[in-house]
């Protein structure tokens, strides 16, 4: 697998430098390419179309989204080899192309969100509230109030949120910068929590020598959901991000503005929320269309 490993490394270096791929994307590509190399007995670089077709056949038991991800990683790898002159052909066309069927994102109702924040408020109003409750309040205000990704949230610098600045500038997926509005209550929650973070700490949510991990954030969200009476299997940091987007759209937010706030490179990714909110859109047409009150003319 020596040749495979070396060229996988070169490919990932290119993806990071030229395509600006995020760390999680690079990790997923490395995993998919390494597993494919193992399945091909170290012959990934030299595999022909027939071998790739057989490899794809072995993915039949996997979900549509997993197959699509694996095939996309391999196709980009072979395109890279061809561009670099390391292969005379590109056998990527032999890989499966499952239909692009994107599942609707899980979200939460307004009542669910109210229960989560009511539970946090009860903890903060208790006689012996803990600094960890202030941290939880700040985490949830930023997750639901600004739609941050888990990685973006846990790695925020200590001074990222300022009391006199109603926004923060994030560098998200693909190393792209975006402006994210911060509500007054989120800034207030962060200010209360930051008072418990030593001034020499680099991160707003420190843990050990670095910052709170995504796994720990996931655990905190699940634990709060259980205490609030919301089924924990329905709640995660990403579900709170989806709730932020869905509820903003319900409130009349512009799709382009929502795309900017979420940091989506392609508005097609943002448009999935129009499906989640389809009932509101139907009602909007029936109530606000200019012909709604006009009599129907019959022949």
Q: Which of 288, 262, 245 is nearest to 104 (CA)?
A: 245
Q: Cα(276)–Cα(104) distance, rounded to whole angstroms?
A: 7
First-to-last C-alpha distance (Å) of the chain: 75
**What is the pLDDT confidence band of residue 205, given thresholds at 50, 70 and 90?**
very high
Q: Any catalytic annotation for residue 194? A: no
**Residue 294 pLDDT more than 60?**
no
**What one-character DSSP code corresponds to residue 211?**
E
What does the pLDDT read at residue 1? 56
Q: Which of 227, 225, 203, 186 is nearest to 151 (CA)?
A: 203
70, 76, 178, 241: the active-site residue = 241
Q: Cα(5)–Cα(32) distance, rounded to whole angstroms?
A: 12
Q: Any catalytic annotation for residue 149? A: yes
What does the pLDDT read at residue 102? 54
Q: Any catalytic annotation for residue 289? A: no
Give the architecture-level CATH label for domain 110-284.
Orthogonal Bundle (1.10)
pLDDT by residue (tens digit) across 22-80? 788 889 999 999 999 999 999 999 999 999 999 999 998 888 888 888 998 999 999 99
Q: Which CATH class is domain 2-94?
A: mainly alpha
Q: Cα(56)–Cα(97) distance, rounded to whole angstroms?
A: 10
75, 178, 187, 264: the active-site residue = 264
Q: Give the number of other CB atoms < 10 A from CB of residue 293.
A: 6
**What is the pLDDT confidence band of residue 140, given thresholds at 50, 70 and 90?**
very high
Q: Any catalytic annotation for residue 264? A: yes
75, 115, 135, 173: the active-site residue = 173
Average pLDDT over residues 146-152: 86
Q: Any catalytic annotation for residue 247? A: no
Give me the half-sphere count of Cα atoms (radius 13 Å) on the Cβ side of residue 1. Answer: 13
pLDDT by residue (tens digit) across 266-290? 666 666 666 555 555 555 556 655 6
Chain mean pLDDT for the chain: 84
Crossing angle of helices 131-146 and 237-250, rounded to 10°: 50
**What is the pLDDT confidence band of residue 170, given thresholds at 50, 70 and 90?**
confident
70, 135, 149, 211: the active-site residue = 149
Average pLDDT over residues 2-24: 85
Q: Any catalytic annotation for residue 273? A: yes
Q: Give the number of other CB atoms < 10 A from CB of residue 225.
A: 23
30, 64, 238, 280: the active-site residue = 238
Q: Cα(212)–Cα(216) distance, rounded to whole angstroms?
A: 7
Strands 177-181 and 167-171: antiparallel
- Structural domain boundaries in the chain: 2-94, 110-284
């Amino acid at each position: 697998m020596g040749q495979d490993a070396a060229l996988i490394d070169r490919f990932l270096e290119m993806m990071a430098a030229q395509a600006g791929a995020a760390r999680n994307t690079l990790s997923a590509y490395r995993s998919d390419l390494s597993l494919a190399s193992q399945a091909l007995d170290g012959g990934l670089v030299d595999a022909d179309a027939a071998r790739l077709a057989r490899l794809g056949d072995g993915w039949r038991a996997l979900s549509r989204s997993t197959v699509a991800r694996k095939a996309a990683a391999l196709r980009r790898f072979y395109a890279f080899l061809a561009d670099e002159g390391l292969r005379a052909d590109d056998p990527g066309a032999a890989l499966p192309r499952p239909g692009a069927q994107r599942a609707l994102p899980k979200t939460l109702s307004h009542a669910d969100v109210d229960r989560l924040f009511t539970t946090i408020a009860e903890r903060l109003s208790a006689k012996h509230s803990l600094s960890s409750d202030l941290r939880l309040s700040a985490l949830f205000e930023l997750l639901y109030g600004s739609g941050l990704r888990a990685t973006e949230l846990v790695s925020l610098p200590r001074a990222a949120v300022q009391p006199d600045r109603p926004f923060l500038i994030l560098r998200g997926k693909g190393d792209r910068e975006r402006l994210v509005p911060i509500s007054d209550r989120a800034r207030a929650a962060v200010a209360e929590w930051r008072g418990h973070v030593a001034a020499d700490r680099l991160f707003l949510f420190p843990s050990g020598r670095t910052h709170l991990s995504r796994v720990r954030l996931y655990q905190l969200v699940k634990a709060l959901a259980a205490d609030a009476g919301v089924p924990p299997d329905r709640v995660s940091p990403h579900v709170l991000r989806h709730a932020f987007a869905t509820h903003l759209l319900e409130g009349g937010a512009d799709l382009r503005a929502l795309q900017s706030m979420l940091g989506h490179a392609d508005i097609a990714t943002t448009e999935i929320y129009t499906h989640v909110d389809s009932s509101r859109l139907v009602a909007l047409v029936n109530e606000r269309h200019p012909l709604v009150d006009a009599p129907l003319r019959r022949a």
